[in-house]
Structure 1
Amino acid sequence: MADKTLTPHISPFTLESYLWGAATLLRGHIDAGDYKQFIFPLLFYKRLCDVYDEELALALKESGGDEEYALLPELHRFQIPEQAHWRMVRTQVKDVGKAIQDALRAIEAANPDTLYSVFGDAQWTNKDRLPDHMLRELIEHFSSQNLSLANCPEDELGVGYEFLIKKFADDSGHTAAEFYTNRTVVHLMTELLQPKSGESIYDPTCGSAGMLLSAVTHLKGRNKEWRNLRLFGQERNLLTSAIGRMNLFLHGLEDFNIVRGDTLSNPAFVAGDQLMRFDVVLANPPYSIKQWDREAWSADTWGRNIYGTPPQGRADYAFWQHIIKSMQAKSGRCAILFPHGVLFRNEELAMREKLVSHDVLECVLGLGPNLFYNSPMEACVVICRMHKPRERRNKVLLINAVNEVTRERAQSFLAEDHIQRIVAAYRAFDDEDGFGRVVSNEEIRQNNCNLSIPLYVRAPIQMAVNVSENQASYGASNLQQAIADWQKSSLALRTSMEELFKILNSINLKG
């Protein structure tokens, strides 16, 4: 049973200190990028055991001390074999890593339908990295708090888990983008799509499941039914997919399906010979990956190459086409976080022409710099809708929100007023000087299907308050504006020259 001397109900501050304190025990012994593969499984393991004990105590109380009744599987969310309980590992003095590994595998085996491989594949028995004394310190640290539901409700532990994910992302350098997307951007994307109760939500590159979780948070914040959401995700990395599953479990979610695997080469969610279709797709695909099977895509079994085959060095349009093929015909809508290059790169022009002709592109939203994790690059969000309202057909809303960003303590994020301004512009779907413009598909074709936002929307000049901090951002924005102006003037010059040649030819023919 859990320690009875522990203080009930953990405050948010205490919880954060407790969670990050576990990571500090590893500092100097293993790389910061590797903290997550040990800390997350131990946290989840401790939570499972404490909740099991809580359920057991309640059943004993209700049954007047009937232990046989209290141990019935149906009275417990997850099964914890006696030999795999936290208290057994806590007594281990030698070969602590092996004891932890055996316990985790036993719990996975006892819950094959829900917890299969949920603890990842960390090398617990590598004593060169994690000697017994260090693991004992970790076990004792986690033992200092009781993580029962009464002491730490699901929403509060979920917030703490997200805090820990972000802290690990901060410490992980360039690899952070593999499992973490700026949560303020995720919040914006969810607000734009407005998930509804009962809908299916899909993320083909789900990382730590932050986007799936955002749909739940969206409905909870509006006091709407969220338990009937159907959540689906696929993630190539085993540890990251495990982190995502643990994240949803710790938030009290059970009706979800996160599968490990490569979405492009082996999509997990299929029905017969077709991809499953979803109401909402939220995604931040890996940026321009080079290692993917382009040849297989050119004759894709699932018919996802509706616009063509992307170049080997940039799989962005492969993910984009996969997402479009994964949307419901009527209710399907998506928000995808991309680098700006997808809007204007020449090597993807033919696919972009077909995308525009398909008339599923509804909005192109340009965001400010540093919102891709640990990268100064500016990001964009593209919104597609399979069944656009009549008044939005053959039109695209372009929003230049490059200045809607806040930077504090070397972190960039979207403040709530930024999010509300962008969402309001999207819902209005109208021109707003210096911020947004509705452009016809025909005008986009006249611009050679270049979707670079400054071609259509000139950003207003802003006075920088913190010039030293933001001048790189404004410089990038001004450069993009200059390039866009050059592209537009070049297009106008080319058009004028073509008209002139037509006139000269006409004169020559008459002569």
Structure 2
Amino acid sequence: MSKRISQSALESYLWGAATLLRGYIDAGDYKQFIFPLLFFKRLCDVYDEELAEALEESGGDQEYAAMPEQHRFQIPANAHWKVIRTEVQNVGKAIQDALREIEKANPDTLFAVFGDAQWTNKDRLPDRMLRELIEHFSSQTLSITNCPEDELGVGYEFLIKKFADDSGHTAAEFYTNRTVVHLMTEMLEPQPGESIYDPTCGSAGMLLSAVTHLKRQGKEWRNVRLYGQERNLLTSAIGKMNIFLHGIEDFKIVRGDTLANPVFVEGDKLKQFDVVLANPPYSIKQWDRDAWSADPWGRNIYGTPPQGRADYAFWQHIIKSMKPGSGRCAILFPHGVLFRNEEQAMREKLVAHDVVECVLGLGPNLFYNSPMEACVIICRMNKPKERRNKVLFINAVNEVTRERAQSFLTDDHIQRIVAAYESYGDEDGFTRVVSNDEIREKNSNLSIPLYVRANNGNSNGNGEADAIDLQQAIANWQDSSIALRESMADLFERLQEC
């Protein structure tokens, strides 16, 4: 009988598989091969575990043990890991065929779950290397007894983080700093039975954080419904596998472009949710602005964003996706959305709508692989009476720790921010409750230093204006430098076309 795998042994085993690919493919591509193989191995080992339990229960009745009702997922006999392990030639094709067979056998749950990796490219994936990879994965039995779902889920998240570290600037497409995700979830307080939605869900870390929050509090989590949309096929597959490996079944992640084609609709309206957690892609310019100006789902409630910045398109989509009574959201944005001139008219309408409940400024480097300072915006469709026509500004720029080139929030940072949000009061140098009227007097500018000066302990007595100007200048410079890089990229593209 196999023995229980420790967390450290599991992580070593998982990362060991990735190291076998070194020299064959780029580190940024590890994920498209390692994740499907890990999930394939887990499915087969759990199937075997269920088979053994059914045989014991039935006194060795093979026909009973093989019945579909005895298994969470169906594994066709010719697509089992044990069969693929015997392949010597054309191993990539054997893997690819097995993955497709499993998807076909489970159309309602595993459709497109394995992604679209090119398993048959022998220049990148020679048979010898694939056999080594299969033997490595075969060295452990990933049954639920040996590797419970929570522990495998943690191992999977470890792997996602490692791949993000190795992927450079592309990591943000599928990974958000987990300490920031934890903070956002704590602020929204998901409840049992609620629907949780992420319109740009990446590897599903934000959706899973809601479940983890309930587990941590000892509350019922099995009746929470998770919904996500993700444009990238591989990333959406990683998200599905992530949720399955955490032992969650009631979820729906769909591939698609949220702005162009929102998939969660009911009749002629967007489906609405209790909780929305999101880290939309920053200032994308490849989107259909003309279609948005006459959006059939009525998402242009505040107006049409500029072509080069779709941030307010995502923001309006999220607001239209919240239930009128219980709907609340936490969105991770760069600071530019708070003050950019080109979005001022939309921001005025946003303030007038009185859905913004809190604007939280975080320190630098909390966007994955980016030095920019991040902000979290909390919106609530039905604010408590005492919070109406007000916004809480929290300047938590100093609440950050950096170790080994990684920035993160400690539990103390998170607790302090959440406590400030819950108390919804003023604290010198940290928080301030501001009326919507005062915000309108400042042209609906939501830039945090306009309302709260961070207390850095080195004030010269009249530094408030200087601090505001400096932080605003830094934010403007960060924003304009990104715009410059985008313009230069456009220019180079045009020169190449010529």
TM over 0.5: yes
Equivalent pairs, count? 469
Cα separation, partners in 2 of 1:201 and 1:242, compared to 1, 3 Å: same
Question: What is the Cα deviation at residue 419 of structure 1?
Answer: 0.1
In the alignment, is residue 385 of structure 1 matched against residue 387 of structure 2?
no
- Equivalent of 2:246, from 243, 247, 251? 251
Question: What is the Cα deviation at residue 462 of structure 1?
Answer: 4.2
Letter in 1 for 2:239: G
The aligned runs of 1:408-423 (5 Å cut-off) are 408-423=403-418
Aligned to 2:364, the other structure's residue is in SS state coil
Question: What is the Cα deviation at residue 482 of structure 1?
Answer: 2.4
After superposition, what is the alpha-carbon deviation per residue over 1:245-266, rounded to whole angstroms, capped at 9, x for unaligned? 0000000001000000000000
Aligned to 2:202, the other structure's residue is in SS state coil
Aligned to 2:351, the other structure's residue is in SS state helix
What residue is the counterpart of 1:461 in the other structure? Answer: 456
- Equivalent of 2:232, from 231, 237, 255? 237
What residue is the counterpart of 1:63 in the other structure? Answer: 58
Query: Whole-Å Cα distance in 1 between the matches of residues 274 and 202 of structure 2?
Result: 20
Normalised by the length of structure 2, the TM-score is 0.93
Query: Whole-Å Cα distance in 1 between the matches of residues 310 and 71 of structure 2?
Result: 44
After superposition, what is the alpha-carbon deviation per residue over 1:288-335, rounded to whole angstroms, capped at 9, x for unaligned? 000000000000000000000000000000000000000000000000
Letter in 2 for 1:125: T
- Equivalent of 1:111, from 102, 106, 110? 106
After superposition, what is the alpha-carbon deviation per residue over 1:375-399, rounded to whole angstroms, capped at 9, x for unaligned? 0000000000000000000000000
Aligned to 1:107, the other structure's residue is in SS state helix
Aligned to 1:368, the other structure's residue is in SS state strand
Q: Is there any run of 5+ residues in structure 2 with no aligned partner, and where?
A: 459-464, 476-498
Cα separation, partners in 2 of 1:485 and 1:117, compared to 1, 3 Å: closer
Question: What is the Cα deviation at residue 483 of structure 1?
Answer: 5.3
What residue is the counterpart of 1:311 in the other structure? Answer: 306
Aligned to 1:281, the other structure's residue is in SS state strand
Aligned to 1:439, the other structure's residue is in SS state strand
Normalised by the length of structure 1, the TM-score is 0.90
Q: Is the 8 A contact 1:203 1:212 kept in 2?
A: yes
What residue is the counterpart of 1:424 in the other structure? Answer: 419
After superposition, what is the alpha-carbon deviation per residue over 1:422-456, rounded to whole angstroms, capped at 9, x for unaligned? 00000000000000000000000001111110000
Q: Is the 8 A contact 2:453 2:467 kept in 1?
A: no
Q: Is the 8 A contact 1:201 1:278 kept in 2?
A: yes
Query: Whole-Å Cα distance in 1 between the matches of residues 284 and 206 of structure 2?
Result: 21
What residue is the counterpart of 2:131 in the other structure? Answer: 136
What residue is the counterpart of 1:482 in the other structure? Answer: 470
Question: What is the Cα deviation at residue 478 of structure 1?
Answer: 7.8
Cα separation, partners in 2 of 1:122 and 1:486, compared to 1, 3 Å: closer
What residue is the counterpart of 1:159 in the other structure? Answer: 154
After superposition, what is the alpha-carbon deviation per residue over 1:394-413, rounded to whole angstroms, capped at 9, x for unaligned? 00000000000000000000
Query: Whole-Å Cα distance in 2 between the matches of residues 330 and 300 of structure 1?
Result: 24
- Equivalent of 1:331, from 304, 326, 332? 326
Q: Is the 8 A contact 1:372 1:378 kept in 2?
A: yes
In the alignment, is residue 202 of structure 1 matched against residue 197 of structure 2?
yes
Q: Is the 8 A contact 1:203 1:283 kept in 2?
A: yes
In the alignment, is residue 291 of structure 1 matched against residue 286 of structure 2?
yes
Q: Is the 8 A contact 1:154 1:250 kept in 2?
A: yes
Q: Is the 8 A contact 1:261 1:268 kept in 2?
A: yes
Query: Whole-Å Cα distance in 1 between the matches of residues 262 and 197 of structure 2?
Result: 12
Question: What is the Cα deviation at residue 480 of structure 1?
Answer: 5.7
Query: Whole-Å Cα distance in 1 between the matches of residues 474 and 43 of structure 2?
Result: 60
Query: Whole-Å Cα distance in 1 between the matches of residues 256 and 401 of structure 2?
Result: 35
Question: What is the Cα deviation at residue 28 of structure 1?
Answer: 1.6
The aligned runs of 1:218-237 (5 Å cut-off) are 218-237=213-232
Query: Whole-Å Cα distance in 2 between the matches of residues 370 and 51 of structure 1?
Result: 40
Q: Is the 8 A contact 1:455 1:485 kept in 2?
A: no
Cα separation, partners in 2 of 1:353 and 1:150, compared to 1, 3 Å: same
Letter in 2 for 1:211: M
Letter in 1 for 2:220: E
- Equivalent of 2:43, from 24, 48, 56? 48
Query: Whole-Å Cα distance in 1 between the matches of residues 430 and 329 of structure 2?
Result: 22
What residue is the counterpart of 1:468 in the other structure? Answer: none
Query: Whole-Å Cα distance in 1 between the matches of residues 304 and 466 of structure 2?
Result: 33
Letter in 2 for 1:173: G
Question: What is the Cα deviation at residue 29 of structure 1?
Answer: 1.2
Cα separation, partners in 2 of 1:304 and 1:101, compared to 1, 3 Å: same
Query: Whole-Å Cα distance in 2 between the matches of residues 478 and 89 of structure 1?
Result: 66
In the alignment, is residue 35 of structure 1 matched against residue 30 of structure 2?
yes
Question: What is the Cα deviation at residue 485 of structure 1?
Answer: 9.6
Letter in 2 for 1:482: L
Aligned to 1:146, the other structure's residue is in SS state coil
Q: Is the 8 A contact 1:359 1:394 kept in 2?
A: yes
After superposition, what is the alpha-carbon deviation per residue over 1:340-361, rounded to whole angstroms, capped at 9, x for unaligned? 0000000000000000000000
Query: Whole-Å Cα distance in 1 between the matches of residues 11 and 374 of structure 2?
Result: 30
Q: Is the 8 A contact 1:458 1:481 kept in 2?
A: no
Q: Is the 8 A contact 2:208 2:243 kept in 1?
A: yes
Question: What is the Cα deviation at residue 27 of structure 1?
Answer: 1.0
Cα RMSD (Å): 1.4
Cα separation, partners in 2 of 1:486 and 1:88, compared to 1, 3 Å: closer
After superposition, what is the alpha-carbon deviation per residue over 1:4-53, rounded to whole angstroms, capped at 9, x for unaligned? 5xx41000010000000000000121001000000000000000000000
Query: Whole-Å Cα distance in 2 between the matches of residues 148 and 86 of structure 1?
Result: 13
- Equivalent of 1:215, from 210, 235, 240? 210
Query: Whole-Å Cα distance in 1 between the matches of residues 466 and 38 of structure 2?
Result: 47
Q: Which ranges of 4 or more aligned residues in structure 1 deviate by more than 6 Å?
A: none
Aligned to 1:380, the other structure's residue is in SS state strand
Letter in 2 for 1:120: G
Q: Is there any run of 5+ residues in structure 1 with no aligned partner, and where?
A: 464-476, 488-511
In the alignment, is residue 450 of structure 1 matched against residue 445 of structure 2?
yes
Query: Whole-Å Cα distance in 1 between the matches of residues 134 and 467 of structure 2?
Result: 53
Aligned to 2:287, the other structure's residue is in SS state coil
What residue is the counterpart of 2:11 in the other structure? Answer: 16
Q: Is the 8 A contact 1:98 1:125 kept in 2?
A: yes
Aligned to 1:398, the other structure's residue is in SS state strand
Q: Is the 8 A contact 2:230 2:258 kept in 1?
A: yes
In the alignment, is residue 186 of structure 1 matched against residue 181 of structure 2?
yes
Letter in 2 for 1:101: Q
Cα separation, partners in 2 of 1:478 and 1:227, compared to 1, 3 Å: farther
Query: Whole-Å Cα distance in 1 between the matches of residues 274 and 473 of structure 2?
Result: 38
Letter in 2 for 1:62: E
- Equivalent of 2:86, from 91, 95, 112? 91
Query: Whole-Å Cα distance in 2 between the matches of residues 270 and 413 of structure 1?
Result: 36
What residue is the counterpart of 1:302 in the other structure? Answer: 297
What residue is the counterpart of 1:509 in the other structure? Answer: none
Letter in 2 for 1:345: R
Query: Whole-Å Cα distance in 1 between the matches of residues 373 and 25 of structure 2?
Result: 32
Q: Is the 8 A contact 2:450 2:468 kept in 1?
A: no
Query: Whole-Å Cα distance in 2 between the matches of residues 270 and 368 of structure 1?
Result: 36
Query: Whole-Å Cα distance in 1 between the matches of residues 152 and 35 of structure 2?
Result: 12
After superposition, what is the alpha-carbon deviation per residue over 1:152-172, rounded to whole angstroms, capped at 9, x for unaligned? 000000000000000000000
